[in-house]
Amino acid sequence: MASAPSRLTCANCGRVYVCDPGGDCWCMHVTVRLPVPADPAATCLCPCELERLARAAREARP
């Protein structure tokens, strides 16, 4: 059974975004791939947070 879309608010920037893991979520069209958070209470990332983590991952590469 697919999850219903959720309206979430980013704790970092305050942006409201929709998380729709059972549908056509915005993040499914992002080319960057990051590990799934180990924290089971973690929620989806907003676009700004995903970009921040992707930038940090690129900068950490040797």
Q: Is residue 31 part of a domain?
A: yes
* Burial class of 10 by CB neighbour count within 10 A (0 to 12, 13 to 18, 19+): middle
Q: Is residue 30 part of a domain?
A: yes
Q: Is residue 21 part of a domain?
A: yes
Q: Is residue 1 part of a domain?
A: no
The pLDDT of residue 27 is 83
The pLDDT of residue 16 is 92
Q: Which domain holds residue 20?
A: 6-60
Report whether pLDDT(1) > 60. no
Q: Is residue 35 part of a domain?
A: yes
Q: Is residue 54 part of a domain?
A: yes
Q: Which tens digits make up the pLDDT trace of 3-58?
A: 788 899 988 889 999 888 888 888 888 887 777 777 766 777 888 888 888 888 88
Report whether pLDDT(2) > 70. no
Q: Is residue 42 part of a domain?
A: yes
Give how many domains the chain has, as a whole number.
Answer: 1
